[in-house]
Chains A and B, each alone.
Chain A
Amino acid sequence: MPAITVDSLTKSYGQELALDDLSFQVEEGEVFGFLGPNGAGKSTTINVILDFIRPTNGRVEVLGMNAQAHSREIRSRTGVLPEGVETYDRLTARQHLEFAIDSKDTDDDPRELLERVGLADAIDKKAGGYSKGMSQRLMLAMALVGEPDLLILDEPSTGLDPNGAREMREIVREENARGATVFFSSHIMEQVEAVCDRVGILRDGEMVAVDTVEGLRDSVEGGTSLRVTVDRIDDDALQAVRSLPDVSDAVVEGESPPTLVVQVSGSKTAVLTELEDRGVEVRDFTTREASLEDVFQSYTTGTEVEAR
């Protein structure tokens, strides 16, 4: 049974279409990265999943239950780190957690939870004096209350320094190891690739790609760029390389030393063999994989990936 099923989800605000016939599934037990630039519709999707807003069309099921009709049951088994939210200025971290523990009717220890997120020192300080990063840690601790089956983290790295972001990913791994499904939204690829089993990329309210990190890397045309230093530039050889089936582009980068840059998605050896066969001597070569950031860029801006 999938943890989250989004089926033909559409949400419009008057003329403006925030989500356009969006469908995807999050499998039970996986860490799913929900990626997209700001404004792509990530928060809108999460808001529908949590019944904060109502769909114009389509259906969402969470943990096998309808997101609207059974919202309370869903949320009792879900931990949520909402995005762009202020904590209660006048309440301490302990009071925040006691409220969450009360609400979920569990017997967690506020101090233990705060130790996990590195906020135990500020347990009796009012949240009004917290930095953005501290508030984020506090809300992560609230999300962990009651060992939820599903964690929904909306832009969890907001306000965290690199160290904090790393600790957050560590907690995601721990929770996943415990058996929780994690649904994790971000606009930065780097933060999801290290921890996610699968990634879905959202653009203008539509899912443009859903795949494993490896699969995404492979799916992009021109996945690898091959830089070859040769003894001389030969136009015929260059044409021959361009016409190879796996090559999308080949250009002369420089004359001294003569260097070619070839975008290749398949065998790199074929390129080198072709050059040798045409009497061009290969002196040196390097390859560079397209980074996931490039992949993300290509999906979200519609431009082709050019690994450099």
Chain B
Amino acid sequence: MSTESGTATGSESTSSSINLTSVRAIARKDFQDAVRSWMFWGLSVFFFVLLVAVTGTISYFGEDIAAEGATTEVLVLFVSQITRLVIPLIALILGWKAIAGERETGSIKILLSLPHSRKDVLLGKLIGRSAVLSLSLVVGFVLAAVIVAVLLGGFDVVDYFSLLLMAIVYGIAYTSIAVSLSSLTRSTTIAGAAMFGIFILFYVVWNAIQSVFQLLMNRGTIEGVSYTTEGMGLDGTTEQITRERLPDWALFIDMIDPGNAFQNTITFLGSFGGEDMGTTYPADWFANGVPFYLENWFSFVILLLWIVVPIAIALYRFDRVDL
């Protein structure tokens, strides 16, 4: 049922135009529709509870940490890790049926009977669902912030809200992936399988890739990069030790994962350094300076690409299929 034949005829262009009024109308309708989904709010409540519970716990035991003057960093670290894991789940479930569901029930014909182009529909969907997800994140983060503020008496607002901002960008990236995948098929079953595939890819496979690289390097299949660092010798004196690390390209592959990109990006806006977050490579690794594509700011570019590339592919392809 999911085979599609889109045949362009003659020289007629099948590429549709984008009309901002249409995009807005669709985004508005889609927001109204998706914001009433029980599934979505169930997941969001799960997210709030997790966030509030963890931040509450940290804040409660926070005095010890506060003594070290690092509360906000610990808070941001924990919250970012929860966010990193939960946002893809919410976004994929929220975007799963965005297009495939409408094609399956035929309601996409309601959208496209009106003077909207297919591109308008995709963009409107992406914006509508991103807005719903952002609403959920704002509510969750503010709730958690109130609890933390009450228990802790204060924290670094700028750092916390820069985390929120990045979480929203991260959420939009996954929404873009979800909506785009959803536009590739008219079967919600296949779309669901694709969402699951993405989930497995970035939760399991991507981490495994790094282990595989490490293994291949140890076996000599991949040539590592040697670097020297200071270490403690057997006699207790400091001496230079030569070690091997993965080559730059292998490190870059690790950075492509939207989750890693998100965590690297947090330090980009906040006041804390990458060392605290564990997202910066040891300085010894790069004798001649860190290549630009391994710097934290480039992770932000990667995150933006995760928004732009999937939807661009979907925009191109969705114009060319039979509904």
> Hey, which bits of chain A sit against chain B, CB under 8 A?
13-14, 47, 50-58, 66, 68-69, 71-73, 75-76, 78, 80, 82, 84-88, 90-91, 95, 99-100, 102-105, 139, 142-143
Given contacts A91-B29, A95-B29, is CB(A85)–CB(B110) below 8 Å? yes
**Cβ contacts under 8 Å, A87 to chain B:** 107, 110
B275 at interface by CB-CB < 8 Å: no
- State in angstroms the CA–CA spacing of A84 and B5 once bound together: 21
**Cβ contacts under 8 Å, A142 to chain B:** 110, 113
Separation in Å of the B211 CB from the closest CB of chain A?
44
Given contacts A104-B114, A142-B110, is CB(A72)–CB(B19) below 8 Å? yes
Taking CB atoms and an 8 Å cut-off, the chain B residues in 101-160 that contact chain A are 105-107, 109-110, 112-117
Q: Among B16, B25, B322, point to the contact of A72 (Cβ < 8 A).
A: B16
B238 at interface by CB-CB < 8 Å: no
Say whether A54 contacts B113, CB under 8 Å.
no
Say whether A90 contacts B25, CB under 8 Å.
no
Say whether A66 contacts B12, CB under 8 Å.
yes
Say whether B112 contacts A56, CB under 8 Å.
no
**Cβ contacts under 8 Å, A13 to chain B:** 5
B323, closest chain A residue (CB): A52
14 residue pairs of the A-B complex, CB under 8 angstroms, read A50-B112, A53-B323, A54-B9, A71-B16, A72-B115, A72-B116, A75-B116, A85-B105, A85-B106, A85-B110, A86-B106, A99-B114, A100-B114, A104-B115
Separation in Å of the B4 CB from the closest CB of chain A?
10
Taking CB atoms and an 8 Å cut-off, the chain B residues in 4-60 that contact chain A are 5-9, 12-14, 16-17, 19, 21-22, 25-26, 28-29, 32-33, 36-37
Separation in Å of the A140 CB from the closest CB of chain B?
12
Separation in Å of the A50 CB from the closest CB of chain B?
7
Separation in Å of the B253 CB from the closest CB of chain A?
39
Say whether A95 contacts B7, CB under 8 Å.
no
**Cβ contacts under 8 Å, B21 to chain A:** 105
**Secondary structure type dominating chain B contacts:** loop
**Cβ contacts under 8 Å, B5 to chain A:** 13-14
Say whether A91 contacts B7, CB under 8 Å.
no
- State in angstroms the CA–CA spacing of A50 and B7 once bound together: 15
Say whether B106 contacts A102, CB under 8 Å.
no
**Cβ contacts under 8 Å, B105 to chain A:** 85-86
- State in angstroms the CA–CA spacing of A104 and B105 once bound together: 23
> Hey, which bits of chain B sit against chain A, CB under 8 A?
5-9, 12-14, 16-17, 19, 21-22, 25-26, 28-29, 32-33, 36-37, 105-107, 109-110, 112-117, 322-323
Say whether B107 contacts A86, CB under 8 Å.
yes
- State in angstroms the CA–CA spacing of A261 and B73 once bound together: 98
Given contacts A52-B112, A57-B9, A104-B114, is CB(A68)–CB(B36) below 8 Å? no
CB-based closest 3 A-B pairs = A80-B113, A76-B115, A53-B322
A51, closest chain B residue (CB): B112
Given contacts A69-B12, A72-B16, A85-B110, 9 further A-B contacts (CB under 8 A): A47-B322, A54-B8, A68-B12, A90-B33, A90-B36, A91-B33, A102-B29, A103-B22, A104-B114
Separation in Å of the B11 CB from the closest CB of chain A?
10
- State in angstroms the CA–CA spacing of A104 and B115 once bound together: 7
B117, closest chain A residue (CB): A72
**Cβ contacts under 8 Å, B109 to chain A:** 50, 52, 80, 82, 85
**Cβ contacts under 8 Å, B106 to chain A:** 82, 84-86
- State in angstroms the CA–CA spacing of A75 and B115 once bound together: 5
Q: Among A14, A55, A95, point to the contact of B9 (Cβ < 8 A).
A: A55
- State in angstroms the CA–CA spacing of A87 and B322 once bound together: 21
Separation in Å of the A277 CB from the closest CB of chain B?
63
Q: Among B25, B107, B113, point to the contact of A88 (Cβ < 8 A).
A: B107
B115, closest chain A residue (CB): A76
Say whether A102 contacts B107, CB under 8 Å.
no
Separation in Å of the B123 CB from the closest CB of chain A?
14
**Cβ contacts under 8 Å, B7 to chain A:** 54-56
Given contacts A47-B323, A52-B323, A85-B106, is CB(A99)–CB(B25) below 8 Å? yes
Say whether A139 contacts B12, CB under 8 Å.
no
A86, closest chain B residue (CB): B105
- State in angstroms the CA–CA spacing of A79 and B105 once bound together: 20
**Cβ contacts under 8 Å, A88 to chain B:** 29, 33, 107, 110
**Cβ contacts under 8 Å, A72 to chain B:** 16-17, 19, 115-117
Separation in Å of the A57 CB from the closest CB of chain B?
7
**Cβ contacts under 8 Å, B116 to chain A:** 72, 75, 103
Separation in Å of the B116 CB from the closest CB of chain A?
6
- State in angstroms the CA–CA spacing of A105 and B26 once bound together: 13
Given contacts A14-B5, A88-B33, A103-B22, is CB(A75)–CB(B114) below 8 Å? yes
Say whether B9 contacts A102, CB under 8 Å.
no
Q: Among A66, A68, A91, A139, point to the contact of B32 (Cβ < 8 A).
A: A91
